[in-house]
């Protein structure tokens, strides 16, 4: 049954938490020094917003591009339900065509869901597309309720509940997006709203979902931080109202570089779903990187049989080549240089045992063998590694041919070169050093 303690605090003036958000200064972390316990659900999963929030900071994707990304998400998931859902815009002809193309695949995972405003008329779009679930924008902070919507809390709550009921009357599962929850009055609005959603769910015998939206990335994962910025206490508090883990979903932004750790923290404290987008794309600073959450899940729960981790590399190659994604060379897991070393002492360690400087078997799990970039810091060990990575040969690092190449590299940098040595240059220098004895390429 619903706990009766959580009543709406319908204030006359907005609570803007100025002690935490002075605006003229960087936000402040407020500690209450109270802690809540871990409550890791038995099953946790990922949901995707690449086709919704992930498009809001990029040129619109074509329906065909969306279909290809959707196929690759399905390939990564491998029928396991790890990537459980994708959400889509429904407003334009292009949006609806993309949904239709993806629906035609008939995949169980990721399930296709929608996103609409808290307007009852928008439900015709959901019904027309035959979707089982949709997200509904239900802003939670007084910044949005008072300053954007120009409503009182009571008016906002009444309007939200009307739309939730309209969704349930239409046979659609509503997923309420508590926008800006990390600046919202948790006891005065968030918990009362959640309590009312429980009542509605009980009446319709259909639990309503809640997405906790850290809209400006204010969430903090550390124990002892006070609400509204505390990710652990936001999840814990909603659990105390009676919201079940499978009804909860975390959606973050990366304004303060905490987007991935906040999503993982939500898992740790009782939230089943972490929402993300491929390679962290999304409005402004972006959403939790979906591929990072796939790997984070493996660390928390173990490798999932059926998940195709190597398809993450295929996805990165596709969006880089065909969709114009600019993925930084040092971007974790998929950047061109993420497992490439330039330091000679590191290369020497890799030669002895690659585990010394490689975080996991990147070749086996992601089809990305380790590499060495050739610079003035590489040394003979790095040159040896580069040669053995590209040619069918085992060679000593003190081999005269290796030393000849090293001398040539040293001469380049002595002449004020600042760029790395390219692979094409190395191929030519190896041919020169080996002459007619050059080994075959791998």
Q: Looking at residue 344, what is its pLDDT?
A: 59
DSSP 92-134: SHHHHHHHHHHHTT--SSSEEEEEE-S-GGGHHHHHHHT-SEE
141-169 as b/e: b if 16+ CB within 10 A: bbbbbbeeeeebbeebbebbbebbbbbbe
Rounded-to-integer distance, Cα 265 and Cα 128, Å: 37
Q: Looking at residue 343, what is its pLDDT?
A: 66
Q: Looking at residue 352, what is its pLDDT?
A: 72
Of the ranges 37-41, 273-277, 330-334, 339-343, which one carries the lowest mean pLDDT score? Answer: 339-343
Q: Looking at residue 3, what is its pLDDT?
A: 47
Sole residue written with tokens 């330091």: 343
Q: Looking at residue 372, what is its pLDDT?
A: 77
Q: Looking at residue 299, what is its pLDDT?
A: 98
Rounded-to-integer distance, Cα 222 and Cα 258, Å: 11
Q: Which domains does the chain have, with CATH numbers?
A: 45-322 (3.20.20.70), 340-437 (no CATH)
Distance in angstroms between the alpha carbons of the first and the last residue of the chain: 66
Q: Are 394 and 428 in contact (CB under 8 A)?
A: no
Is the pLDDT at 25 greater than 50? The verdict is: yes
Mean pLDDT to the nearest integer, 61-81 = 98
CA distances from 37 to 135, 233, 236, 237 (A): 29, 9, 8, 11
Q: Looking at residue 80, what is its pLDDT?
A: 98
Q: Looking at residue 351, what is its pLDDT?
A: 64
Rounded-to-integer distance, Cα 54 and Cα 350, Å: 37
Question: Which pLDDT band holds residue 2 (cuts at 50, 70, 90)?
Answer: very low
User: What digits encode the pLDDT tens for the residues 81-118?
Assistant: 999 999 999 999 999 999 999 999 999 999 999 998 88
Looking at per-residue pLDDT, the higher value among 337 and 241 belongs to 241
Q: Looking at residue 59, what is its pLDDT?
A: 87
Is the pLDDT at 17 greater than 60? The verdict is: yes
Mean pLDDT to the nearest integer, 233-261 = 98
Mean pLDDT to the nearest integer, 194-221 = 98
User: What digits encode the pLDDT tens for the residues 110-148?
Assistant: 999 999 888 878 888 898 999 999 999 999 999 999 999
| Other beta carbons within 10 Å of 207 | 17
Rounded-to-integer distance, Cα 135 and Cα 84, Å: 15
344-381 as b/e: b if 16+ CB within 10 A: bebbbbbbeebeebbeeebeebbebebbbbbbbebbbb
Q: Looking at residue 347, what is its pLDDT?
A: 62
Of the ranges 30-44, 55-69, 73-87, 112-126, which one carries the lowest mean pLDDT score? Answer: 112-126
Is the pLDDT at 1 greater than 60? The verdict is: no
Looking at per-residue pLDDT, the higher value among 127 and 175 belongs to 175
User: What digits encode the pLDDT tens for the residues 365-413?
Assistant: 999 988 777 888 888 988 998 899 889 999 999 999 999 999 999 999 9
User: What digits encode the pLDDT tens for the residues 209-229?
Assistant: 999 999 999 999 999 999 999
User: What digits encode the pLDDT tens for the residues 325-365?
Assistant: 999 999 999 998 898 876 656 666 766 788 888 889 999 99
DSSP designation for 10: -
């Amino acid at each position: 049954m619903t706990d009766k303690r959580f009543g709406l605090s319908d204030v006359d003036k907005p609570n803007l938490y100025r002690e935490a958000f002075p605006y003229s200064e960087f936000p402040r972390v407020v500690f209450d020094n109270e802690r809540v316990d871990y409550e890791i659900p038995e099953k946790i999963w990922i949901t995707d917003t690449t086709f919704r929030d992930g498009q809001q900071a990029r040129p619109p994707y074509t329906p065909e591009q969306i279909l290809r990304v959707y196929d690759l998400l399905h390939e990564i998931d491998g029928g396991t339900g790890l990537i459980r859902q994708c959400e889509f815009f429904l407003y334009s002809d292009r949006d609806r065509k993309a949904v239709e193309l993806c629906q035609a695949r008939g995949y169980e995972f990721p399930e296709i869901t929608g996103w609409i405003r808290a307007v009852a008329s928008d439900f015709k779009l959901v019904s027309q597309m035959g979707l089982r679930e949709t997200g509904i924008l239900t802003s939670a902070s007084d910044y949005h309720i008072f300053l954007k919507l120009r409503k009182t809390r009571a008016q906002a709550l009444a309007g939200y509940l009307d739309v939730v009921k309209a969704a349930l009357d239409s046979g659609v599962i509503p997923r309420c997006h508590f926008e800006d929850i990390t600046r919202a009055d948790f006891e005065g609005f968030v918990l009362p709203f959640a309590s009312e959603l429980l009542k509605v769910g009980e009446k319709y015998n259909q639990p309503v979902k809640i997405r906790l939206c850290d809209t400006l990335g204010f969430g903090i994962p550390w124990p002892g931080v006070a609400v509204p910025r505390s990710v652990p206490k936001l999840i814990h508090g909603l659990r105390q109202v009676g919201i079940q883990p499978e009804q909860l979903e975390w959606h973050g932004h990366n304004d303060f570089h905490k987007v991935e750790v906040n999503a993982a923290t939500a898992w740790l404290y009782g939230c089943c779903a972490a929402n993300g987008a491929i390679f962290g794309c999304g409005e402004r600073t972006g959403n939790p990187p979906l591929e990072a959450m796939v790997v984070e899940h493996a660390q928390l729960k173990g490798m999932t049989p059926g998940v195709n981790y190597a398809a993450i590399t295929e996805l990165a190659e596709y969006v880089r080549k065909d969709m114009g994604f600019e993925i930084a060379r040092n971007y974790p897991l998929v950047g061109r240089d993420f497992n490439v070393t330039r330091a000679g002492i590191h290369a020497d360690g890799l030669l002895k045992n690659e585990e010394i400087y490689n975080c996991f078997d990147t070749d086996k799990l992601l089809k990305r063998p380790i590499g060495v970039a050739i610079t003035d810091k590489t040394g003979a060990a790095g040159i040896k590694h580069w040669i053995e990575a590209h040619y069918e040969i085992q060679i000593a690092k003190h081999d005269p041919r290796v030393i000849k190449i090293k001398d040539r590299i040293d001469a380049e940098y002595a002449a004020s070169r600042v760029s790395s040595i390219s692979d094409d240059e190395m191929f030519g220098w190896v041919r020169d050093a080996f002459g007619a004895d050059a080994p075959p390429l791998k």
